[in-house]
Structure 1
Amino acid sequence: MALPHALSSEVVSLKPLGEGIARTPTHAIIKAEQLEVVRVVLPAGSELPLHETPGEITLYCIEGEVQFTVAGQPRPLRAGDWIHLQPRAPHALRATRDASLLLTICLIAGEV
């Protein structure tokens, strides 16, 4: 069952999931006309293969650790780390520890 999107002006908790991380799926927090915000949950060892997005993105590591690869260069992201990518920058993720991250995607009109 999909979790409902947050409503305008609704307060959303983004605190670390701790032991609840294993029971929490990745889910969109909002999807608006120009912005999508997703809580990405990755168990240790899982991967998101190389891909790109039409708009800019940011990724904030709430907890855990991931290996974020961009431009062929691996970069560890740990709790409290944040990264920004320009549009269409190929990137991939691999969780080295159970992790949850806050992904923001700037949407471009007419593109999915």
Structure 2
Amino acid sequence: MGKRKLLMGITLGAVVGGATALFDREAREYAKDKLTAAKSNSSYFMSHPSEAIHNLRDAFDQFNQTFADGAANAINALEQVETTLDKVANKKEVKEIQ
């Protein structure tokens, strides 16, 4: 029940906020331009579905490559931290032995 109330509150807040924003002429024009562009793009891709799939695949491949690069960078950073910690731990051990 709590989840439903939360989602209803979020939805209602979004609707009220969007409606309130449309009182501004500039916001209405922006919304109209974006909806017109979305309509135009969706009409184009409905007429050319293979291009839509190709663009989607290219976007996914780019996201996948970016994610893989980020993961590789994160692993490299963790390895550097591990190496640094090992050096610090080894220095402490050498000092304790002496």
- Normalising TM by the smaller chain, what interval? under 0.3
- Please identify which structure carries the higher strand content: 1
Answer with 1 or 2: which has the greater Rg: 2
Q: Provide TM-score, normalisation by structure 2.
A: 0.16
TM-score (normalizing by structure 1): 0.15
Name the structure where helix makes up a greater proportion of residues: 2
